[in-house]
Amino acid sequence: MSVSIFRFGRRLGTSVRLPSDYRANRYWQPQVNEAFPDFTAITTRGTIKLKEWARGSWVYLMSHPAAFTPVCSTEIGELAKRTTEFEERNVRVLALTRDTVEQIGAWSRQIEDIYDVRITFPHVADPESVIGRACGLVSNEAEWNGRMCVRRTYLIDPDGIIRAIFEYPLAVGRSVDEALRTIDALQVAGQMGAFTPGDWKMGDPVLVGNGESTEGLKKRYGRHLRSLAPFLNFFDIRKPSAPAATDAAPASPASAWQSRGDTAPRVRAVPRPVRAIPMSNLLRLADPAPGRVPAHANVPAFGQLGDEMPKYHNS
């Protein structure tokens, strides 16, 4: 098979070998930190316009292969059971597939009977694949030959910006737990101007002070700072809050926020601001008990599930 060779790292000799026809066979895909395109579509709950429907909330947008398929049925059933967990985080759930609204409705009623749940979120019907082709949601897996949507999830913030993307092969169902964990991480990091470490869960310490001296961090965070290296500093969000990235940080501990129900101060998010969520709500979740297409849209993407991995070398 003929290939196209692109050389970017001339000093190190890095090159990538790609199929010569990849540009003709790939659709543009919205990426993290880009705006998800606004759209108007028919759903199981009437016609919606994405930005108006979101109304300043986060959006969990999931595309899936088809109605009346086993993996998708379990995913929709699980989402229906846990919709309130998304609502507690100010997240609205929206599903999308290539079936008609009548097919989706009949399938949804069966899922409600099987799982004894009520599906309260809308389901976009895209039988002509208008949204799917515009946003690169058509599957490249060989056995489906472009007839189904990919199993992909977008986490979109209240400004309409994509903050995270998950994609799974057709044979593997997605994890609601991981989606909720990532939403928690994005919201806490955004409020505190911090970062979350690997395998972080709500209530765990966060990483602070990227590029700031350890001495400066100690003055700001006091004894609640745990420094393992100049580039690795942890702060316990359950301890008294520091005036790190806030204009008027409270002096009371997080537990006091819980008891009073106060709202955490708005901070400058990294990399961009997000809608403030009451810190009492965020911390309570840790308790186990009780529009515009970017300028490069005409450049097709590559490297989707089901594709052969490009060959590269670094001489």
The reply to whether 72 belongs to the active site is yes
Which segments of 193-260 does DSSP mark as H helices, in order?
Answer: 214-221, 254-260
What span, in angstroms and rounded, lies between the C-alpha atoms of 37 and 161?
A: 9
What span, in angstroms and rounded, lies between the C-alpha atoms of 176 and 254?
A: 27
Counting every residue, how long is the chain?
Answer: 315
User: Are the C-beta atoms of 297 and 28 separated by less than 8 Å?
Assistant: yes
Coil, helix or strand at residue 314: strand
Q: What region does 46 belong to: left with phi over 0, alpha with psi -120 to 50, or beta?
A: left
User: Are the C-beta atoms of 182 and 164 separated by less than 8 Å?
Assistant: yes
Nearest residue to 18 (alpha-carbon basis) of 4, 38, 8, 37: 4
What span, in angstroms and rounded, lies between the C-alpha atoms of 279 and 281?
A: 5
Burial 109-143, CB ≥16 within 10 A → b, else e: eebeeebebebebbbbbbeebebbebbbbbbbbee
**Tokens 């972080």, located at residue:** 200
Q: Which of 41, 54, 72, 91 is catalytic?
A: 72
DSSP code of residue 57:
S
Active site residues: 72
